[in-house]
Amino acid sequence: MGKVAVGATVVCAAAVCAAAVFIVRRRMQSSGKWARVIEILRVLEEDCATPIAKLKQVADAMTVEMHAGLASEGGSKLKMLISYVDNLPSGEEHGFFYALDLGGTNFRVMRVLLGGKQGRVVKQEFEEVSIPPHLMTGGSDELFNFIAEALAKFVATEGEDFHLPAGRQRELGFTFSFPVRQTSLSSGTLIKWTKGFSIEDTVGADVVGELVKAMERVGLDMNVTALVNDTVGTLAGGRYYNSDVVAAVILGTGTNAAYVERAHAIPKWHGLLPKSGEMVINMEWGNFRSSHLPLTEYDHSLDFESLNPGEQILEKIISGMYLGEILRRVLLKMAEEAAFFGDTIPQKLRIPFIIRTPHMSAMHSDTSPDLKVVGSKLKDILEVSTTSLKMRKVVISICNIIATRGARLSAAGIYGILKKIGKDVPKEGETQKSVIAMDGGLFEHYTQFSECMEISLKELLGDEASESVEVIHSNDGSGVGAALLAASHSQYLEDSETS
């Protein structure tokens, strides 16, 4: 998606919400149980409100936390992790490189042939492999052996296009989307497993070391050049195609941001300043919290009942994992207190996370006169056989309120990053754009969310500054991005520069 043009006539859902709720109010009886439905809707709308003044407070708080996180370890809710990536791809990279993307119950192996500025990504091939459940809770050697064997099989299928010069090792970028304490560009210790993995002997170990030992056991000669987070990979992929990319934001099941910081602005960095003068920072912004965040009773109960209470507060109100669940909680309250679905509460409505964000997006996007999609989704998911048009309108109003809050807070976070790096106001005589590379299913597939986010960012920046800020979709950073970082940090880089 490109930048929203100046004078865009699209109105962000924030302004539409009040109108939508007003229409619902007018058409409903103002007494009894329906009045309670309207009251629940009104309180939700008030509690989720994101006027521009509040968004600026959130952005300022984000900037303050960024400074604190860069100053010292543990100084902020934002981890502001040093990625050790100081050399983002330029587009000049040549040769072929591998990537391994491990972030869930599947992993991908990929090879990419790069042809410099003219050829760019000449060819790419990949294979996706499912991890057997018993390996997710077994031993470290067993898991990494399985991965190394799959990688070795994939290497064995190299075609003639992928020709390795004599005397060179294959090089790999390793995307590992679990919490890691990075110790260098190509090493990092696992802090904890998430996403259903529980392998005790990997915790505290260097995950690159584990992979290298497994590759040695299967006789695979490959150098792991870079260990990267998927958000840093998205930044690399964005920069490869567009040299003006300054930050990357993932809005998917979870959310995170990474950006390019001036190395001398990182007090906690005690090493030599990199030649480039820059360092990519992995913010882990999902853990941001502030008294300025508009939280509801539904957010508080969701957080309290979660596996990580008090953590990842921003993620719990803006990411795809949680938006549908917030909708479910509001509908459950309406069912319990206002008989929204009739005298009996649908049993399915009591199941946490039964309403997924793609369901919510489909309902929110329904423009049919009778809101047929909303009706069919409620029937399929909650087994509610009949719903009136006014009920369906209430559901759309709830979707609108929840998605608007998430989109506008996402925009506030991006605005906070732009403020931190001095790109929030236009500089006289400066023509360079500041580009934000976005990825993730929420951004890509939930149109109302992404459009509202872009309009809100424009509103925060103002017409003049927003002319120099652009939002683009940068697809598959976790795969191609890792291969590109292997290329831009290749052990043979100096050879190719001098030859």
Number of residues in the chain = 499
Tell me, yes or no, if 56 is annotated catalytic.
no
The crossing angle, in degrees rounded to 10, of helices 389-420 and 52-71 is 40
How many angstroms from the chain centroid is the CA of residue 254? 5
Q: What are phi and psi of 132, to 5 degrees?
A: -55, 135
- Comparing CA positions, the residue from 76, 61, 22 lying closest to residue 409 is 61
Pairing mode, strands 170-176 and 180-184: unpaired
Contact 295, 1 (CB under 8 A): no
Rounded Cα–Cα distance for residues 458 and 332 (Å) = 35
The crossing angle, in degrees rounded to 10, of helices 389-420 and 320-338 is 140
Q: What are phi and psi of 439, to 5 degrees?
A: -150, 170
Element holding 198 (H helix, E strand)? none
Rounded Cα–Cα distance for residues 413 and 406 (Å) = 11
- Comparing CA positions, the residue from 38, 52, 69, 89 lying closest to residue 483 is 89
Rounded Cα–Cα distance for residues 477 and 197 (Å) = 23
Residues ≥6 apart with Cβ < 8 Å to 391 = 340, 341
Tell me, yes or no, if 195 is annotated catalytic.
yes
Neighbouring C-beta atoms of residue 317, cutoff 10 Å: 26
Q: Give strand ranges (E) for 12-120.
A: 81-82, 94-102, 106-115
Contact 79, 284 (CB under 8 A): yes
Residues ≥6 apart with Cβ < 8 Å to 100 = 107, 108, 109, 110, 147, 151, 172, 173, 174, 175, 211, 482
Residue 226: both structure tokens together: 């870079």
Using CB atoms within 10 Å of the CB of residue 360, give its burial: 0 to 12 exposed, 13 to 18 middle, 19+ buried: buried
Rounded Cα–Cα distance for residues 262 and 60 (Å) = 19
- Name residue 84's amino acid: Y
Using CB atoms within 10 Å of the CB of residue 444, give its burial: 0 to 12 exposed, 13 to 18 middle, 19+ buried: middle
DSSP 423-478: -SSPPTT----EEEEEESHHHHH-HHHHHHHHHHHHHHHHHHHHTTEEEEE-TTII
Q: What are phi and psi of 261, to 5 degrees?
A: -110, 150
- Which of 101, 230, 366, 439 is labelled catalytic? 230
Place of tokens 């509001």: 330
- Which of 117, 195, 268, 379 is labelled catalytic? 195
Residues annotated as catalytic are: 195, 230
